[in-house]
Structure formats: structure tokens, C-alpha cells
Amino acid sequence: MTLPKKVEYRYFDREVETLSVEELHVLQLERLQSALARADQNECYHRKFQEQGLSPTDLRYLEDLQRFPFTTKEDILTNYPTGLMACAPVDVVRYHMSSGTTGKPKVIPYTPQDIKTWAQLMARTLAAVGITAEDVVQNCYGYGLFTGGLGFHYGAEALGATVIPSGAGSTERQIQTMLDMGTTVITCTPSYAIHLGETLQARGIQPQDLRVRIGHHGAEPWTEQIRQRIEALWGFAGKGGGAYDIYGLSEMCGPGVATECQAQEGLHLWADHFIPEIIEPQSGEPLRPGERGELVLTSITREAMPLIRYRTGDITSILPEPCPCGRTHPRMERIAGRADDMLIIRGVNVFPSQIEHVLMERAELASAYLIVVDRRQAMVELSVQVEPQVGTTLSEDFQAHLERVLQTKLGLRCTAEIKQAGELPRFEGKAKRVQMIE
């Protein structure tokens, strides 16, 4: 979607956001050399560098970064809780945590400067989608160990906006707050934005009854079709706003690593704080701009725990074309899924986003769905549970037609199961779209 030329693109710090490529590279090199020196003070990193015969002084050009070893989530978990920290414990003012695959969380420390940097990054991120100091931001992300709630909160305050710290859940209260307080911006997962919108619809509340004009949504992959549904439910187009994607991960800072701008043509990755690479997930070999692979990030301004060449597991690509908004920071495409979320069904690689793309093109279907992978037999079975829109009746041949479309798009047989309207679960946090039966 390209906005009309009359749109005035908003910036938080125009000078930094529109640095020339040459200026950005000079800044990156300076900060990267400092980040490597700080990481080298950590015993684990010092050992990793030595094993490769490297030291921070070996980095003279940005291209030299590819000589340094990757960092993985296993490195963080193996050194639980704070073995990758590069500062003294007395310098830490906050810990956040995210879930780990072994039962232990990934512990992320912050210095006072890390908190300030994060707030400024989030203010920049919110401004990029058109949020201003005049907005009332209802923050429906969870507060606590999860980074979402506090990241949006501090960013909106740094921008000068009014914040309503609603937190996750309590849908009826959320709606009443929007009506009473004149909320203009909602921040939440895309699945919860749809759930809120469908609840509004069920209550007979029309988009024009609310002042909400912008939704800023992340924490889970979502497709262009989901964006269209959100914007239709909330009537964003008629209010000069839209639904915008945001990307982040706790290991880097939380939300605020990348965001769409008002052009909605990819996510600007803030390269004055994070250096991106795209690699082939299996071999680790670098890929060219435009090629899809695993996103690798190096944090170059983090004090408490700088991460060098961190394998995020997220699948995307770097978009080579310039953005119409004028920002020069590299853009990445919307996250297609996670490398470890890829389903291998009878030798065929399937991402959940591929299935969502098919389902959301069908206006008869509601946004809720569940992918079921049954591994109890030698031949793995894939089925998709869907439900009709409220008030919609599906014809007898709809199920067979949907199965044919899925088979064509995925390259394998998939069973479709039609549920009753409202039967599938809705989510106030991250949506759980895949069920494994072992």
C-alpha cells in the first residue's frame, strides 16, 4: 500500500533517520568497534573470539564482522542467568525475561543508558507510523517480565503522547476505556486487535463511534490479509491512519528494533543501533539483499549485554529499494515466520504464514484458525480448523474447495475442518496457531 503524495511523513529525529548511507556506515563502524571491545570483557565472548583467533582490534571494516562467530539463544541459556553480561551487577537497573526452550528464561539486563536508548528508539518507532504528542495511546501489551508493555509505554511518554497502561486482557474494560477516554492509538498483538474489533462489531459499536485511527501491532507474525481485516474492522482508512507492523526481540532491547512507516512498504531497521545480516539458515552463509533467510543482528549500543551476530531465528529479507518516506535505514520485509516454526510435512516445508495467507483471502472465514499436525502415524497428517464469519453460511462444497486451494498452494494434501462460528479460541496475547499431536 502506497499512500498519496500529500501525506506528510513524520519523524522523531529526522537528521538521524535520514543520514546518508556513507554517514550511517561511519557511525556503525565506530559503534561496532566499541561493542566488540565491550563484549570481549565478557569471559564467554573472550573465549569465543580467541577460538577463532580474533580480537576486537581485527575489525577494521564493517565487512570484517562476518569473521566473528555467531551468538545463539543456546549461548544465552547455557550461561544462565547472566553469564553474557558485560557490565558489573551494580550497573544493572532492570532485568527482563523471555521464555526459553529448556524451561529457563532468557535474562536480559539493562543499564540506565540502555533504558534511555530503548525509550528513544521506541519514540522514533511510534513517530514513524504517524503517532504524535497529541495522541492518546492505549497500551494493551502485557506489563512485567515481557518487554512489550514497558517498551511501548516509555516510548509513548518520550514522544509526549498520553498513555493509558491498560495491559493485556479485560476486553470489555478495554472497549469502555476507548469510548470514555477518546483513545486514538491502540498497541497490541494483531490477533488481539482482531478480537477487539470483532467484539466491537458484536456490540454494535461502529468505527466512527471511536477515535482510534492507528494500530501498532507486533509480537507475532502476521500477513497483509490480516492487516486488511484489522483496518476494515477499525475503519482506519477513513481516519487517515492504518495498522502498522513493529518488530523487536528481548535479546536486542524489546520492541523498537524495526517498524513500518506510514508508507507500509517494509520495516525500517534502526541501523544506528543494530547491524542486520541475512544468512542461509542451514549453512550460515550470507545472502544478498532481496534473498529470504534468517535475520542475524548485532547490537552496537547496548551496554549491559551486547550481542554479536545473534541468530534471531526469524525469516525475512532486506529490501534493496529506497523508501518513499525518505528514511535511509535499511528496510526488511515482514517476518514470514521462524526457522524453528517451519513445519516439515511429508518432506514439504510449510510455514504457518502460508496457510494464513490462503485462509485470509476467503471473506467467508473468520480470522481464527488452528493448524493441527498429527504425528501419531508414520505418515504425518496436516489439517486446518476454520470457522465462518458470524452470520455466514458456508456452502456444501466450500470445504472441498478450500482443501484443493491449500493443496495447490502448499504442494501437499491438507484436510480442512469447519467449526461453528466462535468455537475456536481467541487470544489476548500471542496467538497459538499450531497444535502438535504426538
Over residues 202-234, the pLDDT tens digits come to 999 999 999 999 999 998 888 899 999 999 999
Cell of residue 58, nine digits: 581485527
Side chain identity at residue 89, one-letter code: P
DSSP 8-state secondary structure symbol assigned to residue 381: E
CA distances to 42, 55, 56, 98, 331 from 46, rounded to whole Å, are 6, 8, 9, 25, 32
- First-residue to last-residue Cα distance in the chain: 41
CA distances to 68, 204, 366 from 229, rounded to whole Å, are 43, 17, 10
* Tens-digit pLDDT profile for residues 71-124: 999 999 999 999 999 999 999 999 999 865 446 899 999 999 999 999 999 999
Most confident of the ranges 54-58, 352-356, 433-437: 54-58
Q: Above 50 in pLDDT, residue 15? A: yes
Cell of residue 300, nine digits: 552496537
Q: What pLDDT sits at residue 5?
A: 47
Sorted by sequence, the CB contacts under 8 Å of residue 39 that are 6+ apart come out as: 45, 56, 86, 306, 307, 308
What percent of the chain is modeled with pLDDT above 70? 97
Contact assessment for residue 95 and residue 66, using Cβ atoms and an 8 Å cutoff: no
Domain ranges for the chain: 342-437
Domain 342-437 in CATH 3.30.300.30? The answer is yes
Q: Go through the chain and tell me how many residues it has.
A: 438
Determine the 3-state secondary structure of 56 from DSSP.
helix
Q: What pLDDT sits at residue 6?
A: 62
Which segments within 232-335 are labelled E, that is strand? 242-249, 254-260, 267-269, 274-279, 293-299, 310-316, 318-319, 331-332
Place of cell 480442512: 416
pTM metric for this prediction: 0.84
Compute the distance between CA of residue 426 and CA of residue 222 in angstroms, rounded to an integer. 15
Q: Above 60 in pLDDT, residue 3? A: no
Q: Above 90 in pLDDT, residue 380? A: no
What percent of the chain is modeled with pLDDT above 90? 77
* Tens-digit pLDDT profile for residues 317-368: 999 999 999 999 999 999 988 877 778 787 787 888 889 889 988 989 988 9
Q: Above 60 in pLDDT, residue 2? A: no
* Tens-digit pLDDT profile for residues 236-262: 989 999 999 999 999 999 999 999 999
Average pLDDT, the chain: 93
